[in-house]
Chain A
Amino acid sequence: MTFNFNKVELKNEDGQVQIVLHIDTAHQLEEYGSEFNFDKGDSLKTSAKKFVKKHFPKLKVASIVVVAGAVIMTAIPLQKASAHEVNFNMSYLYFGNTQSYISQIDKAQGNLNLVSPSYFDINADGSLKITGQFDSNFVNAMHSRGIKVVPFLSNHWDRTNGRAALANREQLSSQIADFIVKNNLDGVQVDIENTTEVDRDAYTDLVRLLREKLPEGKEVSVAVAANPYGWTKGWHGTYDYKELAKYAGYLMIMAYDESYEGSPEGPVASLPFVEKSVQYALNQGVPAEKIVLGVPFYGRLWKVGGTTAESGLGISNKRVDELLAKYGGTIVYDQKSQSPMATFTIPAGDTTTKIAGKTLTAGTYHIWYENDASLEAKFDLLHKYNLKGTGSWSLGQEDPDIWKSYNSWTQHEDIESTPTYSSSTYTVKSGDTLWKIATNNNMSVSELKSLNNLTSDQITVGQKLLLSEPVEVPTPQSEQPVVIVTPSQPTTQQANGETYTVKAGDTLWKIANMFNITTNELKEWNGLSSDSIYVGQVLRVKQPSPNQVVLNNPFTDISHLDPIVQGQILDLVDKGIFSGTSKTTFSPSQEITRGQVVLVLARILLNNGIAEIPEDWETNQYFNDLSPQTNDRLLLQFAALVKSTGVFNGTADGNLNPADPITREQMALVLNRATDVMSGKSLVEIANTSGKAGKVKDLDEAGEHAREAISSLSALGITSVENFNPKSAVKRSQFASFLSRTLDYMASKNNE
């Protein structure tokens, strides 16, 4: 039999996501009883698993609990959600020299454990050609850093050259093995490209020969074409994944160049393209631990209405920000491909920009590239499929800031519960049209309009549109089910009163009354043309303010965030409290440092005239590790301010440790103290007065001195989680959100 679940709860249990499914007691207990008595509990388990798989396909769930009333019917443990960690990251070295490579590798902050330089080319007769890039000093420099050097063997896309190598594979493999051993290299990666299915057997045989001739400790790996559609001919037919995996330590899937030079405009590596490529490898029988996911550190640029020669020019990710800073422009984060697309216009007469050696002429350009959000989405696949690691093409093209986040992406620190509607809705961004959204989601405009009850083509920035039918929880009764997302999602959205998530039994009239607005306002702010709403729908219940419009967003890396969090960030930036990590980046995934928090809190105090910088800031040493002679004069001033006001006391040994990440319990403490300085009442005092209790369950993991502050954040609704993880670091976006909610809370208290 199939069980029907009429209520779902997502819980955070010890950092793991647990789903609690409620079955209707009145209708199903008797049926369950018979199941139980006849030991057919598996049917219930199967139903529960199917239900979770269907409705929460993207959620890493640690366990499912089925409840009937107050009775726990069954508990189903699943995989540990956070068990997978990646500790293999390689990158290719192609554009540069020994000096620049070492500099680039050092900027990677220890995230790389293998580099692959371009040392091995192929002569016309198929013999090994050592390139001018080879430098034994570089090899030694890498080894002293604990980084392996595995050159790649390349035919540079020359099919005939590649075939010459394969035809000469016996001699070539011996030459490569000899060179590696003699020069203390760590192996070879075969990267012969553009051969075809007729070369398949010879290709595999070259890899076999290399494995046979190289000592055991030396690596043999293969860079393989991404094959999301299972093509068997052309370049893609070259690679016999399964056979190659027998001899290679790993296959590095070149999951990029989905769009390429001369091709129609599009992402370099859309998430579906990348994921299907991984699935193909797994389906071919390649063990997950032998799959390395290739990630692009570059984008491609198309001139709107341009020629083929102006289509798909390669551009490093770091240059995208430069172009936007120079010309201005907009960023759209395409949800379907999980890729950012920048638009900018070069004015007539401007011939100052060159890309790939070509001068860009006047006109409008689109760049599909990678940012934190798109890379993080790809890194999620590492954990989803338990892959070995990452391989990036190529080092030096990345925005150096990504290295600050790289480790957290590979360690999969974020386990986020995803509300069921997230995969089937789209938030309208600047520049969107119904046609564009419909096309991007394989729908017609009329389907999109019908699904969203739209009577006109007008949509507004921030409006959420349904892309598929709302999730319908099967239930024996006709009433709407309730979906409750307990830990991280709902109250963060509602704490500042901006939005409301529709619940069973809600009507527009009821919600409008709840927020003292009219139904017409509610409909207008949400682009609703009918009275129809659905459970889980997020409605804006406050008139959108201009600074929440994404149009004014100067950052290229926050558009993937929840619109509310985007608004909070932009609001804080607009008020001069927060600043980006560059003119065009906010780096939302980076851990915020104690020094950055000092700057932010000091600006609040200064901007509101609450405190002033102490006169002795240049002479009195407020923190032991911050000398009055430091070059960072701003930090020196602001540190003096926060110390003198008691907002920031420093560590027990009197240090500020400005470069260290701030922990969540430290954040709770400083927010508590900052509130005290701002309003004369700390968060703890306000919470105590209100009589509200916090619901944080892991207070015992926090230092005693921080527990009250954490509880007060919970009691006042500034945080909604039960597991606060007090020792964890805080991302910049998270801190912005916490701070924004705290300030909003203070403002609402002042208005009472």
Chain B
Amino acid sequence: MKKVITILATILVFFSLQPNTLAAEDKPIIPYFGVGANVTEIGDGSFVVKTEGAKAEEGFVFTPKESFTSTKISFQITLKGTGTVLLKISETDPRGRFIKEKTIEVVLTEDWTTHVLPFELASTISQIDVSVVTKDATRTEFSYKDLKIIQE
């Protein structure tokens, strides 16, 4: 009987651990990359960016994988922190050739605030990078969440 219980317990432990293990393996890799900065995910779906302060335009960059159906897009993100950062969209053609970029300055606050950067693509087959980076070379920390690329 004890053996049966042990086996059942083992099975229970296995099943109780398995989803967690799979969840860890299936967890998508964070597609946000630090540029002169570290990007860390917080449990609530937000991320913290700590810049090194070595040069200007440190922060993070993200490349959406989805293809575009419209040339009218917007980069929307919710931010909080201190200091001034730049929201940027950079467009390249399918062969990686730079086409254009657009930047706006955002003064961060301690409250979560949503910001939108509208952009007109040169072509729906273009690639874009969106990023939030420091305006100046400064060691700073800011947080973001709910990053969206909206197509009209």
> A196-B90, A198-B129, A262-B125 given as contacts; is B35 within 8 A of A235 (CB)?
no
**Are B97's CB and A234's CB within 8 A?**
yes
**Are A159's CB and B131's CB within 8 A?**
no
Tell me which of B1-9, B26-34, B136-144 binds A: B26-34
Tell me, rounded to whole Å, the shortest Cβ–Cβ distance linking B16 to chain A: 26
Residue numbers in A under 8 Å from B57 (CB-CB): 198
A166 CA to B33 CA in the complex, in Å? 9
Majority secondary structure, B binding face: strand
**Are A235's CB and B96's CB within 8 A?**
yes
**Are A234's CB and B61's CB within 8 A?**
no
Residue numbers in A under 8 Å from B36 (CB-CB): 201
A166 CA to B34 CA in the complex, in Å? 10
Q: Pick the contact of A159 from B98, B99, B127 — CB < 8 Å? A: B127
A235 CA to B99 CA in the complex, in Å? 11
**Are A234's CB and B31's CB within 8 A?**
no
Q: Pick the contact of A235 from B29, B61, B63, B97 — CB < 8 Å? A: B97
**Are A164's CB and B35's CB within 8 A?**
no
A166 CA to B95 CA in the complex, in Å? 20
**Are B96's CB and A234's CB within 8 A?**
yes
List residues 9-43 of chain B with CB under 8 A from any CB of chain A: 29, 31, 33-36
A150 CA to B65 CA in the complex, in Å? 31
Tell me, rounded to whole Å, the shortest Cβ–Cβ distance linking A156 to chain B: 13
Tell me, rounded to whole Å, the shortest Cβ–Cβ distance linking A169 to chain B: 12
> A125-B29, A163-B33 given as contacts; is B61 within 8 A of A236 (CB)?
no
A225 CA to B98 CA in the complex, in Å? 13
For B61, B65, B125, the residue with the greatest tally of chain A CB atoms inside 10 Å of its CB is B61
A583 at the B interface (CB under 8 A): no
**Are B31's CB and A237's CB within 8 A?**
no
List residues 156-203 of chain A with CB under 8 A from any CB of chain B: 159-160, 163-164, 166-167, 193-194, 196, 198-199, 201
Chain B interfacial residues counted at CB < 8 A: 23
Nearest B-chain residue to A194, judged by Cβ? B96
**Are B96's CB and A196's CB within 8 A?**
yes
A233 at the B interface (CB under 8 A): yes
Chain A interfacial residues counted at CB < 8 A: 27
**Are B94's CB and A196's CB within 8 A?**
no
A234 CA to B90 CA in the complex, in Å? 8
Residue numbers in B under 8 Å from A159 (CB-CB): 63, 127, 129
Tell me, rounded to whole Å, the shortest Cβ–Cβ distance linking A97 to chain B: 29
List residues 107-136 of chain B with CB under 8 A from any CB of chain A: 125, 127, 129, 131
Residue numbers in B under 8 Å from A257 (CB-CB): 95
**Are A160's CB and B65's CB within 8 A?**
yes
B92 at the A interface (CB under 8 A): yes
**Are A160's CB and B35's CB within 8 A?**
no
A451 at the B interface (CB under 8 A): no
**Are A237's CB and B98's CB within 8 A?**
yes
**Are B61's CB and A163's CB within 8 A?**
yes
Nearest A-chain residue to B35, judged by Cβ? A198
> A160-B63, A196-B90, A196-B129 given as contacts; is B29 within 8 A of A225 (CB)?
no
Nearest B-chain residue to A125, judged by Cβ? B29
Residue numbers in B under 8 Å from A261 (CB-CB): 94
**Are A260's CB and B92's CB within 8 A?**
no
Interface membership of chain A positions 602-613, coded 1 if the CB is closer than 8 angstroms to chain B and 0 otherwise: 000000000000
**Are B34's CB and A167's CB within 8 A?**
yes
**Are A262's CB and B90's CB within 8 A?**
no
Tell me, rounded to whole Å, the shortest Cβ–Cβ distance linking B88 to chain A: 10
Tell me, rounded to whole Å, the shortest Cβ–Cβ distance linking B116 to chain A: 22
A261 CA to B95 CA in the complex, in Å? 9
A234 CA to B57 CA in the complex, in Å? 15
**Are B63's CB and A198's CB within 8 A?**
no
For B33, B35, B63, B90, the residue with the greatest tally of chain A CB atoms inside 10 Å of its CB is B33
A551 at the B interface (CB under 8 A): no
A124 at the B interface (CB under 8 A): yes
**Are A234's CB and B92's CB within 8 A?**
yes
Tell me, rounded to whole Å, the shortest Cβ–Cβ distance linking A177 to chain B: 23
Interface membership of chain A positions 383-407, coded 1 if the CB is closer than 8 angstroms to chain B and 0 otherwise: 0000000000000000000000000
The 5 closest A-B CB pairs, nearest first, are A235-B96, A234-B98, A233-B98, A234-B92, A163-B33
Listed by A's residue number, 11 A-B pairs whose Cβ atoms lie within 8 Å are A159-B127, A159-B129, A166-B33, A167-B33, A196-B90, A234-B92, A234-B97, A236-B96, A261-B94, A262-B125, A308-B125
- In addition to A159-B127, A196-B92, A234-B92, 17 A-B residue pairs with Cβ atoms within 8 Å of each other are A125-B29, A160-B63, A163-B61, A164-B29, A167-B34, A194-B127, A196-B96, A198-B35, A201-B36, A225-B96, A233-B90, A234-B90, A234-B96, A234-B97, A236-B97, A261-B94, A308-B125
Which residues from chain A sit less than 8 Å from chain B, CB to CB? Answer: 124-125, 159-160, 163-164, 166-167, 193-194, 196, 198-199, 201, 225, 231, 233-237, 257, 260-263, 308
